[in-house]
Amino acid sequence: MTLLQRYLDVGDEGAVSTLVERHQADLLRTAHALLGDASAAQDAVQEGFVRMCRDAADVVGGSGGRTSVGGWLCTVVRNAALDMLRRRRAAPLPDQIRQPTPPQGTAVDDASLLWAAVDRLPDVERAAVMLRFRDGLAYDEIGARLGKTANHIGVILHQAVTRLRNDARLAGMAL
């Protein structure tokens, strides 16, 4: 909050750069887990930082000055990503753009099938699977990023894995 206060008081752009360096990786990971697209994730994170600059006075003065900039940014980026998903659903992108990059070092067929199945999961389940298995976050960390409780994240992950297992079995994958 001190960095944001300094930006508000004297217009220090270095403070904003420091905040970007500090929070961008975490925010990009969350946005990418939700969107599955690196460019869209960067757009969502950029939107979050722009809104932070625009509403800096409210962020600093909100909740008696006890607002966490990281938490506020995470909420803003998540909402921006969900908005993008809604817009994407209204106007779907071509399949070649949405197709995630195949992971390196694995069999192309199995990986393609698995990530196609992940891509078909609901948004929150897909994000939870990516944050859990790709990034290795704990349940409460995933819950903080997605705005859910840790127990709820456990339920979501259980449902997601069940769906993936059924899909893999149907696809004849050797699991």
Partner 1 sequence: MNDLPPRLAELLQCGPAAPTSLDATHRQAIQIAARQAWFRHRSRRRWTMLTCAAAAVLVAGVAGWTIRSLVEGPVETSTPIVASAPELMAKERSDPAALAPMAKSMPVIADVETNTTRAGEGRLAEQTAQEPAVAMVAKPLEGRAASEAVAGDVPAEPIVAARSERRRQDAQPPAASKATKDAPASPPVMAPAPTAVALAAPAIAAAMSDAAPPSRVEIPTNTPRFGQLLAARATLEAAERGELAPAERNPALRAARDLIAGLTNPPAVELRARLDAALGTR
Residues that bind partner 1 (CB under 8 A): 7-8, 11, 13, 16-17, 20, 24-25, 28-29, 31-33, 36, 38, 41-43, 45-46, 49-50, 53-54, 56-57, 100-101, 103-106, 110-111, 114-115, 118, 129-130, 133-136, 157, 161, 164-165, 168, 173-175
Give the nearest distance from C-beta 46 to partner 1 in angstroms.
4
CA 4 to each of CA 16, 19, 129, 172: distance values in angstroms, whole numbers, following the listed order: 7, 8, 33, 53
Place of tokens 């950029």: 46
**Residue 28 CB contacts under 8 Å (≥ 6 apart), including other chains:** 41, 42, 45
Residue whose CB is less far from partner 1, 90 or 108: 108
Given a contact cutoff of 8 angstroms between Cβ atoms, the answer to whether 60 and 8 are in contact is yes
Given a contact cutoff of 8 angstroms between Cβ atoms, the answer to whether 138 and 84 are in contact is no
Give the nearest distance from C-beta 174 to partner 1 in angstroms.
7
Here the tokens at position 92 are: 């779907």
Residue whose CB is less far from partner 1, 79 or 133: 133
Give the nearest distance from C-beta 138 to partner 1 in angstroms.
12
Give the nearest distance from C-beta 56 to partner 1 in angstroms.
7
